[in-house]
Amino acid sequence: MKAFLYCLWQCTWGILQTLLGAFVFLCHISDKHYLYHGAVVTEWKDKSSVSLGLFVFVTEEPYFYEKLKDEYTMQELSDRLLVHEYGHTIQSLLLGPLYLIVIGIPSTLWGFLPVCGKKRREGQLSYFSFFTEKWANDLGEAVTRRKSMEQLIID
């Protein structure tokens, strides 16, 4: 029942990001897919991960594994990343049509603008310290009862 309500809510209140996610899903139809707490997860070869409504796209191998391999296994980092991305789907449930403006754009800028990357590296700031990412961690952990990315420094 929870999965049905999750799907229904993503396909109504979160329709903008879910439609965008459906398009990306169709572009990656040959990749591995599975369900996670009602979300449709796709493992892709891209180095980054993203959540778009009902759809979650996670990297097959987190690029930051080499930096953290002494502390975490690849599987543990992948699991934590999935919890984090699932947290973004909860943000989508809460914010609906505002998700792309409040979460999507700031998160993308924080992740990909060179000036932001420089700020993270020079200040030894965690990517997950930014409000959109910390909130996703908190929501993902609250809903799944599993550990997320916390304040790991991945840059």
Residue-wise pLDDT tens digits, 28-70: 999 999 999 999 999 999 999 999 999 999 999 898 999 999 9
Instruction: Provide the b/e sequence for 20-48 (b: ≥16 CB within 10 Å).
Output: bbbeebeebeeeeeeeebbbbbbbbeeee
Both tokens of 61, joined, read 């191998």
User: Model pTM?
Assistant: 0.95
- Give pLDDT, residue 77: 96
Residue-wise pLDDT tens digits, 72-96: 999 999 999 999 999 999 999 999 9
- Give pLDDT, residue 143: 96
